[in-house]
Amino acid sequence: MLLAIDCGNTNTVFAVYDGDTKFREWRAASKSGRTADEMGVWLIQLMALKGLRPESITEAIIASVVPAAVYDLRLLCHTYFSAPPLVIGDPDVDLGLRVLVDRPEEVGADRLVNTVAAHTTYKGPLIVIDFGTATTFDVVDADGNYCGGVIAPGVNLSLEALHMAAAQLPRVAIGRPRSVIGKGTVSAMRSGIYLGYVSMIEGLTARIQQEFGAAMTVVATGGLASLFTEATDVIHHLDNDLTLRGLLQIHRRNAAQRTHTRSDHGSVHMT
């Protein structure tokens, strides 16, 4: 079985795949300083509740946008599962795409993994919107190459900043407002955040397509994607498993290459 780990700024997702089937998924807060032992004890207990033993995990892959977490995630895979992981961003990991930006090393691992999964599933030029700690818009050409994108503050980050910077503005839960014009502070804040983000989605997708020069399929993923997908018709697909599926596809690609390499090295040529 494969352990796929998606470490974001807010949450870390651990998913176990049996072939192409996701067996189970668990989510934890991405707390700074959490050790491999802490994660190992927590994860193995949850796996045991589903009848899954550590030795069932034979392979692992990691995508992390938190550099400080990578060491302990590697150690977790080595120590508790005896499964040396592939890590997105390592030079020996083949993603099967080109990163067509000025500084490829700066592109977040999750954005590249999303690119792989989106291209495999939807084809054509794409815009992938990921509603995470930041809201990102990633541009994928028809060949599956990463062409750049846009980074905006995430919805919850914007709400927290508004509360912290303005003494009279409370914390509010994100939700679809009943009307655009708020009749009170809370309703006005909800309208501004929610409909402001809808307007940003619609405006940025239109501008990206105009600059790219072609109509594009828009795919949404991330924790709040469903909340905004229902409010606009510019999003064509909601795909909450995009990142994990991309990790599965990248692992499969690299595993096949390793098998092919071993086969080549082990072959005997006779004359």
Q: What is the pLDDT of residue 176?
A: 87
- Tell me, yes or no, whether 80 and 185 share the same domain: no
**Residues spanned by the domain of 61:** 2-87
- Tell me, yes or no, whether 70 and 186 share the same domain: no
Residue 110 annotated in active site:
yes
Rounded CA-CA distance 88/26 in Å is: 20
271 is in an annotated binding site: no
How big is the chain by its Cα radius of gyration, in Å? Answer: 21
Tokens of 143: 């060949």
Q: What mean pLDDT is reported for the chain?
A: 90
185 is in an annotated binding site: yes
- Tell me, yes or no, whether 109 and 241 share the same domain: yes
Condensed to tens digits (0 to 9), the pLDDT of residues 123-142 reads 889 999 999 889 999 999 99
> Count of domains in the chain?
2
Report the share of the chain in percent with pLDDT over 90.
73
Condensed to tens digits (0 to 9), the pLDDT of residues 200-246 reads 999 999 999 999 999 999 999 998 899 999 899 999 999 999 999 99
Q: What is the pLDDT of residue 71?
A: 95
- Tell me, yes or no, whether 225 and 130 share the same domain: yes
144 is in an annotated binding site: no
Q: What is the pLDDT of residue 267?
A: 47
- Tell me, yes or no, whether 188 and 110 share the same domain: yes
186, part of any domain? yes
pTM of the model: 0.88
Please pick, among 18, 20, 94, 110, the residue that the annotation labels catalytic. Answer: 110
